[in-house]
Amino acid sequence: MLNKQRRKLIIPFLAPSLILYLVFFVYPTIKGLGLSLYQWSGFKLPVTFIGLENFKDLLKDDNFLVALKNSLFLFFVGGLVIFAVAFVFTSFLTSGIKAKDFFRGIMFFPNVIAPIAVVTIWQFIYNPRFGLLNGLLDVIGLGKFGQSWAAPGRIFPAITVIIAWIAIGYYLVLLLAAADKIPQDIYDAGRVDGANTWQMFWLVTLPMIWDVIGIIMVLWMISALKQFEIAYAFSSTGNVPVEAYTLPIYVVVMGFGMREPIYKLGYASAIGCVLLFIVVILTLLIRRIFKRENLQY
């Protein structure tokens, strides 16, 4: 009887969110999966059923392979840099230092700047003639290493640095929020046993926030694979070079075009389906890796 009453109370509260989820996520996803099997410009008939031809063409599409490589590079290499730095700062800021909130705010600051402003700043830093990076190398006597940091062969690693610079503070705040929930008595016991700051992080902090790290990894994976605005804005001409393509950018390119219209909506939907498939697979894999019994404290 009690369960029935709870169910009647819960349903009205869940119904609006469920309806929005079905209308704005489930239905477009199913529609996109279906559209990927067709050849369609998006504006006029006929809509031609071609089965899996769009997916077969992706395997032969060099631009798609570049976009896929860049998205995975951002996730794996960018993630390695982001979490390595975030873990170091988490260890440092959980060691009991003063002005913890100040340092946390400084690290988070790039997240409150508009992406266009961030890109503008870094375009100045990367500028080969009067940029800050080459100027700094000249000052310290390493001017011979100066170069065009955003040249076609290096443009995506340069973009990855920008994204990492922004993301480090965000994931650091999440890690610190999880670490703040660990009772101080556990840290005090570790210090009594003679553990140093690094040992405290690896043996106390990291095991205690392991499940949170799994969630953060999923958030980063989704953020990396749907990265669009930084890579798009980095091209001041509005025509993104192929070397800077990510999967979301290539969806827009094939669906609508940049300066020249393309309007291959069926093909763009196939790219979106591949992106969705990668997200689902990586999410399941990350959740499996970080799955374990919850620690009670």
Would you give per-residue pLDDT tens digits along the chain (297 residues)? 546 677 777 778 888 888 998 988 889 888 888 888 888 877 766 778 888 899 999 999 999 999 999 999 999 999 999 999 998 888 888 777 777 788 888 888 888 888 888 888 888 888 877 778 878 878 787 767 777 777 777 889 999 999 999 999 999 999 988 888 888 787 777 777 777 777 788 888 888 888 889 899 999 999 999 999 888 888 766 678 888 899 999 998 888 877 666 778 888 999 999 999 999 999 999 988 887 655 555
Per-residue pLDDT at 224: 94
Angle between helices 265-289 and 62-73 (to 10 degrees): 30
Q: Please, which residues have CB within 8 angstroms of residue 275's CB and are 6 or more apart in sequence?
A: 71, 225, 226, 247, 248, 251
Per-residue pLDDT at 47: 79
Q: Tell me if residue 61 falls in helix, strand or coil.
A: coil
Report domain extents, the chain: 58-289
Cα-flanking dihedrals φ and ψ of residue 81, to 5°?
A: -65, -50
Per-residue pLDDT at 94: 78
Contact 231, 244 (CB under 8 A): yes
Per-residue pLDDT at 56: 92
Structure tokens of 258? 């940049």
Q: Please, which residues have CB within 8 angstroms of residue 129's CB and are 6 or more apart in sequence?
A: none
Contact 242, 248 (CB under 8 A): no
Instruction: Give the span between the Cα atoms of 247 and 253, in whole angstroms.
Output: 10
Model's pTM, two decimal places?
0.86
* 42 CB burial (10 A radius; 0-12, 13-18, 19+): middle
Instruction: Give the span between the Cα atoms of 203 and 210, in whole angstroms.
Output: 11
The dotted CATH code for 58-289 is: 1.10.3720.10
